A and B are shown apart, each in its own frame.
Chain A
Amino acid sequence: MQSFNIVVYVFAAIIVASAALVAFSRNLVYSAFALLFTFFGVAGIYVMLSADFLAAVQLLIYVGGILVLIIFAVMLTHRISDVEISNQSLRPAQGALILIGIMAVLLGVIFKTQWSLEGQLEYQATTALIGDLLLKKYLLPFEIVSVLLLAALMGAAVIVRKEVRGEQSGGKS
């Protein structure tokens, strides 16, 4: 149990430190790479919460997909020369006020509520269980999400393609 606590604290420290770096770093590229460590830490927390399949999905989709997309977007849209200017914080004082306010409210709720700690999931391989649930209880959300993914794919392609065509015609005229 002692080692469990230590591992959870280590992952929590990684998450908080790298998320703070995402929030307060002046350099957008540093923020993007700090986000990598946040996602790794969250995957570790999933393992500690008996969600092994979810941890693998987190690594595959967040680190392998979303983060790579974000870094691509940073590199494509970002003039490295004016890193300092293009990532400056707007209204940091008001932002800090909101941060402290939200954290105070959330911590108050967390410590005031008596959570009913009924059953605990035991540590087991969850992949088969999740596959079973996806094809039985959660079949409708599963199908809807697959249609949504197709729509997002087509939408992204259409958005980017239209702009290129508009720019070409603008260049000719």
Chain B
Amino acid sequence: MVGLNHFLVLSAILFSLGVYVVVSRRNAVAILMGVELILNSASINFVAFSHYTTSSMGGQMFAIFVIVLAAAESVVALAIVLSIYQQFRTIDADEASTLRE
């Protein structure tokens, strides 16, 4: 019988893979993919708790706001990545180490 724990374990795996991507990748776009994995795992947690431990829709509302924030975050982050690429000709997060032009 699939219960709450199964979904929590799934989201724990997804979260730690996302943290691994953020920690180990050098490419800024790849780091952004890791952040998306982390946000997805948090949303799964919200929805799973909303389904199994309450009878309210609060968790699903939180997940909707998480999705909206993820969209805003990825738009701004990709704009920054593109402008870093125009400036440095690379999107390696280690190479782009100055704020000035």
Contact = CB atoms under 8 A, between A and B. Distances in A.
Contacts of A138: 61
Contacts, number: 239
A86 B15 CA distance: 24
Residue picked from B20, B21, B53, B72, most chain A C-beta under 10 Å: B20
Nearest to A110: B8
A20 B17 contact: yes
Interface string A130-143: 10011000100100
Interface residues of A, number: 90
A155 to B, nearest CB: 6
A28 B71 CA distance: 21
Interface in B20-34: 20-21, 23-27, 29-30, 32-34
B8 A90 contact: no
Contact of B86 (A61, A121, A145, A163): A163
B60 A31 contact: no
B16 A126 contact: no
Which residue of B25, B29, B34, B67 has the most chain A CB atoms within 10 A of its CB atom? B29
Please list the 3 inter-chain residue pairs (A to B) with the smallest Cβ-Cβ separation, ordered nearest first: A119-B55, A95-B24, A152-B72
Given A61-B67, A96-B20, A130-B60, 11 more contacts: A16-B10, A51-B50, A54-B63, A77-B85, A90-B94, A107-B12, A111-B5, A117-B4, A148-B72, A163-B87, A167-B86
